Structure 1
Amino acid sequence: MKLSLLGSWPVAALLFGVASPCISAQTAALDLSQAAVVLRAEAGQTAATVLQEEVERRTGIKLPIAANPAQGHPAIILTTQPPAGLAAGLPPLRAEGYQLITDGPRQSLWIVGADARGLLYGVGAFLRKAEWSRGKLSVDPLAISTSPASPIRGHQLGYRNTANSWDAWTIQQFDQYIRDLALFGVNSIENIPFQDDRHNPLMKVPRKEMNRAMTEICRKYGLDYWVWTPADIDLKDTAKREALLRKFDEVFADSRVLTGVFVPGGDPGSNPPELVLPFLEDVAKRMAPLHPKARVWLSLQGFDKEKEEWVYRYIEQKHPAWLGGLVAGPSSPPIARTRQRLPRQYGLRLYPDLTHNKICQYQVPHWDQAYALTLGREAVNPRPSEYAAIHNRYAAASDGFISYSDGVHDDVNKVVWSALAWDPNTPVRTILREYASLHFSSALAWEIADAILALERNWQGPLAANGAVEGTLLTWRGLEARAPQLESNWRWQMCLLRAVYDSYVRRRMIYESDLETEVNRVLAAAKPGSSADAISQSQAILNRAVSAPVSPDLKARISELCEKLFQSIGLQTSVEKYHASGAERGAVLDFVDAPLNNRWWLEDEFKKVAALPSEQDKTARLHALAAWEQPGPGSFYDDIGNEAKSPHVDGDAEQEPESFRAPEPTFWWWDSGRSRARLSWQTTMWPARMVYEGLDPNGTYVVRTGGYGQSLLSIDGQRATPTLDGRQMGEFKEFPVAPDLLKDGRLVLTWTIPTDESHLNWRQHSRLAEVWLLKRN
């Protein structure tokens, strides 16, 4: 994947005055182990308390809070007034900004905030940069003045059954997590107060009580509180409409603070804009008496061009004062077009999906199917480099973001977006170093940062060829041995789980692929009269995946870490054991042994073969199964969507402008992840093109495709007509290749995506799974 930064963004960063470090001439670290916290700002009590508590958590040192520094003792001074002389030459602060200035001769660290939030963010920056261990606290010389680039910097923490972790939290856990996010500059938290009413046995606090608590936590830290409240009813039904408005009334009454109400146009919801906009106006009228500064925001998710234009005309004609702006999320119109059409007095907030791995806004690029089958949509998923590029591509066109998240498994991604929304020029490795220092160990921070980057690389490209996965596991095992004190740290447990799980999946995939190769040799050698023996021998080989599994020690460690994560943070890695709300909601433990070869499909095929009428038919079918991916000399096979098995798919094809990505596969999730279908059918994609070189100019070739529905194929730009036109998965289409197209020994295949399927659910749209170029004798 080619990830490029938005070329104009550094200029925008300079205009915002993002960060202006001035390096002090002082070189020695400032020892703050005996320091007092000196509070010189009325609005700084929360920041001082956070500093005192977080230092004590890490070092065991409880720094006293005093009005003045003690003579001869170091001090950490919290103030909103820059120190005379020390701040000379530093850029002035804007709203929420802070300065960190060390004064070596006076043994003091100044944390200067533009306001109360700035003081809190300054404390967070100090904690991220400090060197600490038990009984020790110091900081290198600092002279920093910085203010945030984006005015909206937040994350959605919806307390509902769908979440895979925080639905099991206490109020205290929410308080700490929101504080942790604020230490990286977050100023907005978005709750989901009433959507998804399913019973959840893990909830320790009723939703209404937690809603109130979250508003109080935001008020305590001086953060903005938002709510995500879909209109997923028929708004033409007046009774249901009024009932939904009464739910909004309850939210407004229960909220100590409220900044924004975000109503998605779709996902969920399917009402047309001519019903949605008047409904939002009614919401705003009922909100105004209690929260006069709060505004309503709308996303255009799922809106076609006609509906999109209706919204723009409404805004341009009515200029609604209650509207805060629009939100760009998954399946929204292009961000650049939205910003261009939206009047400047309205904001544009991004709603990036940081939580999902597949079938989502930002699917993992070049993901191996083995991961998709076992890890699903919501596994622990640090993707720092990729998300940094995505953030910096779109941020300058927006007023910031509040991300979509359904659990803590994307904790690293949240921090990367938070840090870059403050300063988009911050190197990713620096962000990870501060993350590791704050949450793990300042002494090992750089090594841990590199180990997190290694986890991201585990997911890049064909898994069998990615030997670095084993190196990543060794790295994390080495860090684990050097930092045993982190055993109960849930962020540490998540990283270890990923390192172990990735290695286990790779070992299983290689082992089980070899078993299938062995089976294919047996099937290819079957002779009339020996089909039963060939099937019996093949089943025994396939069953070794169960009877003689690979690396049982890694599987045991995975189970152990899943249990620890459920106890420490409520992470639900199993539906039955840990009450995950769905198989794809992070239930990785339930799929840790999902077949990574075609064992289940072959077992079903063997039953069909046994029922065939003649021994010749039986052996012919066994031979066909053996040759499925090996069609013989001069012929070629591609498993479309599987990068390891699609050598003729042009991976350097032009990227789509809005996503800056080439076409990506769809990893289908059939039968709740227990599909017995052939693996190649469970990953489909319309490739930009396929290229074959070195063909026999005098040969006779046929293109065979497998998939579902239509396959509008062109060969060297000429539309091809199928002589065989199977429409179901497992059936084939065949397209003869015109002899004159082979003169140069090269063929290019392209497909036109059908445009007459908009009336169908997306799951019923045509798709392509496999392509053969067969040379016929």
Structure 2
Amino acid sequence: MKPNQETASKRVAPWDFSDAVLLIPVGLKGAEAKAITLLMEETEKRTGITLTVTHEWPDGHQPIIVAGTEASLQGIVKDWDALQTLANPGKEGYRLLGAKGERSVVLIVGADSRGMLYGIGRFLRKSSLMKQSIKVPANLSISSTPKQSCRGHQLGYRPKTNAYDAWSVGQFEQYIRELAIFGANSIEIMPPRTDDDATGPLMQEDPLDMMIRLSEIIDSYGLDTWVWYPNMANNYADPATICEELLEREEIFSKVPHIHAVFMPGSDPGELEPDLLFVWAEQVAELLQKYHPKAKLWISPQVMSHEPAKWLEGFLANVDKEPEWLGGLVFGPHVDITLPDLRRRIPEKYPIRRYEDITHNFHCQYPVVNWDLAFALTLGRESINPRPLAEKHIHNLLESYAIGNISYSEGINDDVNKFIWSDQDWDSKTEAIETLRDFARLFIGDAFSEGVAQGLLALERNWEGPVAVNEGIDRTLYQWRMMEQAAPPEVLNNYRFQMGLLRAYYDAYIKRRFIYETELEMEAMDALKSASSTGSLAALEKSEAILLRAKTSPVSQTLKQRCWELADELFSNIGAQLSVIKHKAIALGRGAFMDAIDFPLNDSRWLSAQSSVIRKLDNEKDRLNAIYEILNRTNPGPGGYYDNLGSYKGWQRVAKGKGWEKDPGYLESPRMAPGIYLLQSERTFDESAIPPIASTRHANTLADTQLSLQYEHLDPASAYTVKVTYVGDTASELSRDYHVTLTAQGGRVLHENILIKQGQCTQIESPIPQEALANGNLVLTFNRVSGFKRLNVSEVWIMRNGLADGAS
């Protein structure tokens, strides 16, 4: 049998190991002893059974669980030859074999210490562990070796995270243990100084003390400790700055007992030009090896620069010099070259490790595909986000170009995604549903394994397509509520069950609100349409009263109440910070999605602002004209076209490029983006500047990727004007302005080098050259020509102005 093959009877009743004895070699130390402790403690937690330990093959017929390494078990296991029916595993691999004769036996045999740990993890995942009961699948037969050599996750103890900063040392150890059960061999931690405050209101430990303790815990399980270490100073060409920065790192490197590698991001945060970055990195690498001689410094071509192509070429030129101190490269967010291209561009001697963003929903490396704005406005960038099928696809598409992944995580919201990635890094042929069943069985309970596994898949489906017509959202809630009603107290108080349950309630509440508030907006617009007969002020008053019903007569408040109850329970259980005010989250966009649960899902803010402006007009005629403008804002006139590129209908106008299936990071393809940072901006808008929703949701491209739109059936004899709404990027201390040029087919320029200010919507009108309409078809192409590396286009009007000059 080849490695990573397994056979296990699906129909034979499981074997009973409830009274089993645990046979282990004498004198286990270090990570091997820790693996046995893990086996015993995790079994006892779930069953109440304390396994009796022996070091010799016992007499009688009592079931035996044997655990150890190939080397340590030699000579103490009977019928060793039976193990040879399974292929020899490779490094970090294991064999797991069940046999039944006079007695039931399970052999957990690691190729090495780590293999022993992962074999124990697989045993726990596949066993049914209930009160006073240990059931093992019949005829268990597995030989497994990890495919990827680097498998891990970043756990940052800093205020920016949505849970980790509230954790105790014990909570961190338990989570690290659970990640190891699913095959993780690396944990990435952080120094006390990053792009965060030095400490936070929920921290229980000094950050440096926690860093030291985490390194010790990671090492105790035989895992690798990585350190993510950004460059936070302003001037790394200044000798005084360099001295200060090296002194800080020396304290960290000398006090943290176990460091296997340090990852220095090129930026995000940090703003160094490539030549200076590599000069500085060499000094850090030398200092690192003074205290950790085998450790290597890894570096990423992440860049927030306005001109990423130029920066990247400078970075790659430095890699081509093949510095000895460089351990490898890291591919993650804000790397503006595809992973296959990066692999081709660098010397073969350098491995690539992935640093994949599994934690964010949009404005990120791998956004949710065409996510409905109702969810984006409420659940936001960093909500509970199980995406098992999407994460498996992203993993497998690029697997062959790297040695594995240590994921980028900002907290517990991406919990499910971590275990999917670990399983895929081990064996990418593993189906996501198998991982979910193991996850639910081990962490929630055997009786809930299928329900929770399928429920997590259902939560991912909740985010597919328009929320208003997604019938599965209501069905998903029914399924989770059935489990909720049947669950014992220990399951109801299980944070992983609470997270799934909260999402189910939340999604259903948002759908119900969206349908209700959409209807209110339509009623409000109908009221405005009556202005010519009722008078402008009366129409405005009626319209506002209708929109206000979203607050005075809200819908489905029992769903909302249950969401808050679960959010409070999660804060109590694991410090999940789902609210800024109640749970001390650092910001709305940092996991505090409960604070946005009632954010308007229609254009009530814009309509109210417009009403206020209109009331200040002096005469009825002007007020009626202004109301007419509201009602006809998106009307392109007879023979014209209007598209909101961030809507499902408008998105059909966009040339898709490679698309998500081949380009999930959208490095070479446009993507649909919500643009909620303009709608939820904390800055005070002038009433006349509050944008309608359609002006903010947009199509987006990165770096130098073009955005193209296709129009057909235009009249070649008519004159047309194009009006475009551009969306500025998130306001930042560093300018995120950019310049854009719009052309029609044949390179005909419609407008050129237009400045798009950050945090604003900008509208530009331009005539369309008659030559561009010769056959009735029109292709518009948008190019970012300079400035920040995102191009955002939200609305496009093609307006017919009558016959062109000379046409008949």
TM-score, normalisation: structure 1: 0.91
State the partner residue of 1:130: 127
- 1-side partners of 2:197 and 2:106: how far apart? 49
| Matching of residues 184-583 of structure 1 within 5 Å | 184-194=182-192, 195=194, 196-233=196-233, 234-302=235-303, 304-317=308-321, 319-320=323-324, 322-332=325-335, 333-484=337-488, 485-527=490-532, 530-583=535-588
- 1-side partners of 2:631 and 2:392: how far apart? 44
SS state at 1:53 partner: helix
State the partner residue of 1:719: 748
**Aligned match for 1:62, one of 39, 45, 50:** 50
**Structure 1 position 80 matched with structure 2 position 80:** no
State the partner residue of 1:161: 159
Deviations 1:626-654 (A, max 9, x none): 233455665443222122x5264247544
- 2-side partners of 1:647 and 1:219: how far apart? 49
- 2-side partners of 1:774 and 1:318: how far apart? 56
SS state at 2:626 partner: helix
On the 8 A contact 1:574/1:583 being kept in 2, the answer is yes
The 1:480/1:699 distance shift into structure 2, 3 A limit, reads farther
State the partner residue of 1:9: none
On the 8 A contact 1:640/1:683 being kept in 2, the answer is yes
The 1:123/1:541 distance shift into structure 2, 3 A limit, reads same
- 1-side partners of 2:190 and 2:161: how far apart? 11
| Matching of residues 580-619 of structure 1 within 5 Å | 580-619=585-624
**Structure 1 position 670 matched with structure 2 position 678:** yes
- 2-side partners of 1:254 and 1:550: how far apart? 56
The 1:520/1:742 distance shift into structure 2, 3 A limit, reads farther
Q: Deviation of residue 442 (structure 1)? A: 2.0
**Structure 1 position 107 matched with structure 2 position 104:** yes
Deviations 1:314-348 (A, max 9, x none): 4444541x321111111223222322233333221
Q: Deviation of residue 719 (structure 1)? A: 3.1
Q: Deviation of residue 691 (structure 1)? A: 4.0
Q: Deviation of residue 308 (structure 1)? A: 3.9
**Structure 1 position 703 matched with structure 2 position 719:** no
Q: Deviation of residue 529 (structure 1)? A: 7.0
For 1:771, the aligned partner's letter is V
> 5+ unaligned residues in a row in structure 1: which ranges?
1-13
Q: Deviation of residue 87 (structure 1)? A: 1.9
State the partner residue of 1:7: none
- 2-side partners of 1:146 and 1:451: how far apart? 28
For 2:99, the aligned partner's letter is D
On the 8 A contact 1:378/1:585 being kept in 2, the answer is yes
- 2-side partners of 1:695 and 1:342: how far apart? 48
- 1-side partners of 2:361 and 2:315: how far apart? 31
State the partner residue of 1:116: 113
For 1:514, the aligned partner's letter is E
Q: Deviation of residue 504 (structure 1)? A: 1.1
For 2:285, the aligned partner's letter is A
SS state at 2:290 partner: coil
The 1:272/1:735 distance shift into structure 2, 3 A limit, reads closer
- 2-side partners of 1:475 and 1:670: how far apart? 36
Q: Deviation of residue 750 (structure 1)? A: 2.4
On the 8 A contact 1:720/1:735 being kept in 2, the answer is no
On the 8 A contact 1:219/1:256 being kept in 2, the answer is no
For 1:228, the aligned partner's letter is W
The 1:717/1:371 distance shift into structure 2, 3 A limit, reads farther
- 1-side partners of 2:678 and 2:261: how far apart? 38
For 2:514, the aligned partner's letter is M
- 2-side partners of 1:631 and 1:169: how far apart? 55
What RMSD in Å do the two structures reach over aligned CA positions?
Answer: 2.7
| Matching of residues 27-42 of structure 1 within 5 Å | 27-40=12-25, 42=28
The 1:774/1:342 distance shift into structure 2, 3 A limit, reads closer
The 1:267/1:213 distance shift into structure 2, 3 A limit, reads same
Deviations 1:512-567 (A, max 9, x none): 11111111112122117700000000000010010001111111111111100100
- 1-side partners of 2:422 and 2:350: how far apart? 22
More deviation in 548-557 or 132-141? Answer: 132-141
SS state at 1:85 partner: helix
- 2-side partners of 1:129 and 1:301: how far apart? 39
Q: Deviation of residue 92 (structure 1)? A: 0.9
On the 8 A contact 1:373/1:673 being kept in 2, the answer is no
For 1:664, the aligned partner's letter is R
- 1-side partners of 2:262 and 2:740: how far apart? 44
Q: Deviation of residue 433 (structure 1)? A: 1.1
The 1:96/1:342 distance shift into structure 2, 3 A limit, reads same
- 2-side partners of 1:354 and 1:517: how far apart? 38
SS state at 2:794 partner: strand
SS state at 2:607 partner: helix
For 1:94, the aligned partner's letter is G
More deviation in 87-96 or 136-145? Answer: 87-96
More deviation in 155-164 or 84-93? Answer: 84-93
For 2:793, the aligned partner's letter is L
SS state at 1:464 partner: helix
**Aligned match for 2:89, one of 84, 90, 93:** 93
More deviation in 266-275 or 338-347? Answer: 338-347
State the partner residue of 1:681: 695
SS state at 1:680 partner: helix
Deviations 1:648-669 (A, max 9, x none): 4247544387546441134331
- 2-side partners of 1:45 and 1:76: how far apart? 15
Q: Deviation of residue 25 (structure 1)? A: 11
Q: Deviation of residue 207 (structure 1)? A: 0.7
For 1:323, the aligned partner's letter is L
Q: Deviation of residue 359 (structure 1)? A: 0.8
State the partner residue of 1:5: none
On the 8 A contact 2:94/2:119 being kept in 1, the answer is yes
The 1:220/1:590 distance shift into structure 2, 3 A limit, reads same
The 1:692/1:306 distance shift into structure 2, 3 A limit, reads closer
Deviations 1:752-776 (A, max 9, x none): 2131x23xx45xx763221233456
Deviations 1:659-680 (A, max 9, x none): 4644113433137545743112
More deviation in 624-633 or 607-616? Answer: 624-633
On the 8 A contact 1:520/1:627 being kept in 2, the answer is no
For 1:232, the aligned partner's letter is M
SS state at 2:81 partner: coil
For 1:478, the aligned partner's letter is M
Q: Deviation of residue 460 (structure 1)? A: 1.6
